Structure 1
Amino acid sequence: MTRPTARVLALLEILQGGGTHTAAELARRVGVDERTVRRYAGHLLDLEIPVESVRGRYGGFRLARGFRMPPLMLTDEEALAVLLGLMPGHSTPPREAAGTAAAKVQRVLPRALAARLDALFATTEFSSPPAAGAAPEAAVMLRLAEAARDRRPVTIDYTDRAGRRSERTVHPYGIVAHSGRWYLTGPDSASGDLRTFRLDRIVHVRPEMGTFAPPDDFAPADVVRASLAGTPWRHEVTVAVRGTADEVSARLPRGIATIEPDDADDGWVLVRLRAERLDWLPGVLAGLGLPFVVHGPAELRDLVRTWSRRLADCAAATTSHEAAAAWDR
């Protein structure tokens, strides 16, 4: 979207809030001069949006009374983020308020986009509240959802956990949001076996001809959970943290770990997770802002010591050269 177009839409958004706004106020909020505000108001009039110019000391611009809101102007990504944020269990509003707000948003979306989002929510199982900010590309999600709804095969470009890229034809039985990630499950043409694919590793989706019928008793979420449970990981991590389960969970990235009471120490919990790499964990542990003890693996304790030494040396540095040397020691 070009900048002038974005500013015209920003002006419309302000006017939709109701009331009369002076040209000076609108210029300040949109980031242009008053003459440009008047030109933008003319653009809206050209689009048959009834912007009224009110004369006098308290005059300015407003939308005509009784004007019906146009379709909500959101990109696919923005609309998806809004609706995911309103899902029960993920949103700040109460469950009922979040549900009615989501319904109102969907009603004012353009028809084509609303239909694609309906397909996503109709074909997705949420085993835990999704993390909107962690969602993969909206285009990938929506194309897969339409294929799952229509029972059409798709060809995907996929990168596995080892970094190998391949092209696969899949029957998309369903989409699952689990522990902050999104998964596709269905038979894979390469092996003929039921597979689970992470959506953030899919870069292209191409619908194919034909149809398929999943088994009547197929439960996508159960398949994804079973697949993840059987996935081999290089490291099993256990860390004791002082605090309650709710307190520690709120300070960890969503869905990366399980938390349980530590029977050996009252007021502490055990954080358990599996990881392919450990280099990102020292920063996560430091970000807790709580005392912790690394029970294993020993390699993580070494990484935490190295990370803390680097931080201390960088804090003592007074030049970029000293900081770089301290970090590389």
Structure 2
Amino acid sequence: MSSEATVERVLRLLSLLQRRPVWTAGELAEECGITDRSVRRDIERLRTLGYPVQATAGVGGGYRLGAGRELPPLLLDDDEATATAVSLRMAAGGTVAGIGDAALRALAKIDQVMPPRLRGKVQALHDATETLAGTGEVDVDMLTTLAQACREQVQVRFEYRSHDGPALQRRAEPLRMVAAGPRWYLMAYDLQRADWRTFRLDRMRSVETTTFRFRQRDHPDPGEYVHSSVTASPYQYVARVRLHAPAEEVLRRVPPQVARIEADDAEGWSLFIAGAHDLEWLALYLASLNVEVEIVEPEELRDVVARLANSLSSMASGAPNAAPD
């Protein structure tokens, strides 16, 4: 076999090891179309190049790419390189606490060796993207710890403070992190409550990985689950409001962390579904959309709207406030 073919095979092996936590020798041999003996030789070549490939015996054992003393060269395909560069541009903009300067240095290194076709794609994505002022910062160590736990499928423990309660110890199987507007969320299987839960990263403290591995459970779509959770379930009230405007138009105006928007097929209008502790804020937000509104529920929202309408009418006329009928 030529040296060029050997290099290509070793790079293929490295790409597989980076794709998932553990591979058996048989699985790697089948993927690469080689023998188990060739797999062992190529593993040794990767170790010589500085890649810390670890081998574990027993049930569930195999080869895995571990952490070394220094970072070896990374092998990225086109999509991964583009995603990395775009993410670094966002991080350099200050959305992740304490990472801005490092992100700029890493971005410069990637940009230097990136093929022109990818550099243009990254620039186009950057030009078409805005980071809104006021976006919450996320601690980089927490983000890294949780990302690693999701990838390695290991349990995490942490302190979590709900919106109206004390900080409690939690233990969970992390699945995915989701950024929604100004906040980041973790979707995880809560072992105490034996169900899927959404955790806000800014309410998490002392996040640690454990040595307990888990097999991924059947789960709902992370994006849809988090969206539903942050717009409804944690709140005292859940409002359903019919807007006399198409869902496509409303989606352009209402951020996903504010409400879930569904098409109302009967009339071609849309349903605005949102949770709130403060119905007055919700009423004012709905008024700011400047579309005709029908309140489906709750009844308390109607009372709040009537009170605000009376107050605003009195302000406009200069008359003293009067209680609504």
Q: Normalization by structure 2: what TM-score?
A: 0.48
Q: Normalization by structure 1: what TM-score?
A: 0.48
